[in-house]
Amino acid sequence: MKLAGVAADTINSSHPRDINVAAWKRTAAGKTRLLYLAPERLMTERMLDALSRLPVNLIAIDEAHCVSRWGPSFRPEYEALTKLRSLFPGTPIVALTATADETTRDDIATKLFGGAGRRFVSGFDRPNISLCVEMRTDARRQLLNVVKAHEGESGIVYCLSRAKTEKMARFLNENGVRALPYHAGMDAEARARNQKSFMMEDGGVVIVATIAFGMGIDKPDVRFVCHTDMPGNVEAYYQEIGRAGRDGEPAVAHMIYGLDDLRMRRLFIEQDDGDTDHKRREHKRLDALISYCESPECRRHALLAYFGETQATNGGCGNCDICLDPPEMIDGTEAARKLLSSAVRTGQVFGQAHLIDIVRGADTEKIRAGRHNELPTYGTGADLAKDAWRSIVRQLVAAGFMRIDVAGHGGLNLTAKGQSLLNNMQDFSYRKDVIRQPGGQKKARRARKAVPDDLGPDQSALLDRLKDKRTALARERNVPAYMIFSDRSLADMASQRPLDETAFADIHGVGAAKLKDFAASFLDVIAEEPT
């Protein structure tokens, strides 16, 4: 904001005390127009008392979906923000979020505005992001395929646990990728150093992180986001993939998941300390994400429909794996009944692996001990490979024919819908999984131009020199290069070749502050003859 000419300050724990004190003195003196605070600092008695003595003209709450109670993993201080309406009764409040379904929007309105307040909902579509979901077969190879397809570009890899974050970062480094871990268990200095490297460097850095990374990250040239595990719900997924392609250039959102993700996510919800209604809502949100993952139709349509937005076109989006490579649907009714029958005949206490062994006729000690080789379904599914059966089981769970007993040991049991299928009252079709070959995700990615189409050789050479100048200025000011000027602004300079401040003011992204601070530096580059 300071680069844009706004008198802005922030008071936060990453700054030394004297820096924070100076920022507060400017605020108290009326010199600061915009003050950034984390909820944890804002909602202290001391800060609220100090602010109450100042003419606060607006309170803006960013990431407002956190106000909605999603469990203890979210910061409880966001819940405390509900007191602001009574503490500052004459001050307008605005709540902003890019990720809130209708239920969450209702919750925000109730908690912050007593059910009142005006709502403004803009479009959720990010058409430049290509969407892809892939079943897990070899997670490391699959991840490496995604990352290698974006060699030399910035990306974010999300992992479910801290341990997996460290392992995946190490694996990528061993395979020639500059990958940095980021999670809450790291030393604060190391975590900050890794985030700074990712933010400051133009490309080629991959951050491997838990969900501790991301809120407030606004790096425009992130070319891919890859989830190695299923997120908790559609909102979390949408927010995390939304960190890709903020410059409007093509980007990829890739998810790798399997049946174990469904079990773990159900378990997390049940272990949460929320009440019954909270858990019910979370299970429904997870159901929606599972439906998105297993959708046989356009993923973008499914994603937007969740947020209440429909696309005008009858066809697909043309930029997701389903549209680019439509899946083959297979009648799995008889196969499903064999597996469901096996589950019922064995007491509905066994998991995927054992049930598949039964229908495929495996000779294991566990099968012999339970005399499951004597079941009428034993060996009746030997014609299908294990991977095909895993796909069938996963999609039976996703479609609500079976449920995972998360309170037990992951056993599979039938729902009423599954019982109906077993009793010949319903049919079942499943989507044949596609095993993607190395580099296969490139098909779902529109090629990114190194330079805009309309730049000639001389203009492209000028663009390179302008980027060098931007990098130098960014280092001087200790800010990411994109904060000086975006790639689009530099391309506009290379195309228009302004020779004075009046012409420079017409360049995309040039305001009064940047005209004053940077015009001379870039005009010098434009005016100089290339060597």
> pLDDT tens, 187-226?
988 998 999 889 888 778 999 999 878 766 778 889 999 9
- Among 160, 130, 157, which residue's Cα sits nearest to residue 142? 157
At 271 the pLDDT is 85
CB 55 within 8 A of CB 35: no
Q: Which position has the token pair 């649907």? A: 329
Would you call 470 helix, strand, or coil by DSSP?
helix
Q: What domains are there in the chain, each with its CATH number?
A: 8-113 (3.40.50.300), 129-324 (3.40.50.300), 329-431 (1.10.10.10), 457-527 (1.10.150.80)
User: Please, which pLDDT band fits residue 444 given cuts at 50, 70 and 90?
Assistant: very low
pLDDT at 446: 42
Report pLDDT digits (tens) over 342-363.
999 999 999 889 999 999 999 9
Retrieve residue 304's tokens: 């937007």
**Amino acid in the structure at residue 43:** M
Q: Which residues contact 355 (CB under 8 A, 6 or more apart)?
A: 339, 342, 343, 346, 393, 412
Sequence-distant (≥ 6) Cβ neighbours of residue 438 within 8 angstroms: 141, 145, 148
pLDDT exceeds cutoff 50 at 469: yes
Instruction: Please compute Rg for the chain using Cα positions.
Output: 27
pLDDT > 70? residue 407? no
- Helix residue ranges, H only, 245-307: 259-271, 276-293, 299-306
Digit-coded pLDDT (tens) for 421-441: 999 999 999 888 766 554 444
**Using 50, 70 and 90 to split pLDDT, how confident is the model at 103?**
confident
How much is the pLDDT for 207? 96
Mean pLDDT of 379-396: 91
Query: How far apart, in whole angstroms, are the C-alpha atoms of residue 39 and residue 20?
Result: 16
Mean pLDDT, the chain, integer: 87
Q: How confident is residue 531, by pLDDT bands cut at 50, 70 and 90?
A: low
Mean pLDDT of 498-503: 92
pLDDT at residue 439, as a whole number: 44
- The pLDDT confidence band at residue 445, using thresholds 50, 70 and 90, is very low
Q: What percent of the chain has pLDDT over 70?
A: 92
- pLDDT, residue 270, reads 85
Average pLDDT over residues 117-132: 90
More confident residue, 214 or 272: 272
Q: What is the largest CA-CA distance in the chain?
A: 88
Range from 65-69, 318-322, 485-489, 523-527 carrying the lowest mean pLDDT: 65-69
* pLDDT value of position 312: 55
User: CA nearest 35: which of 62, 72, 67?
Assistant: 62
pLDDT category of residue 100 using cuts at 50, 70 and 90: confident
Q: Read off the pLDDT of residues 362-387 as tens digits, 9 standing for 90 and up.
A: 999 999 999 999 999 999 999 999 98
> What would the mean pLDDT of 407-418 be, rounded to a whole number?
82
Phi, psi (deg, nearest 5) at residue 317: -85, -20
Pair type for strands 251-257 and 222-227: parallel
Residue 331 φ then ψ, to 5°: -70, 110
> Would you state the pLDDT for residue 528?
86
- Position 408 scores a pLDDT of 62
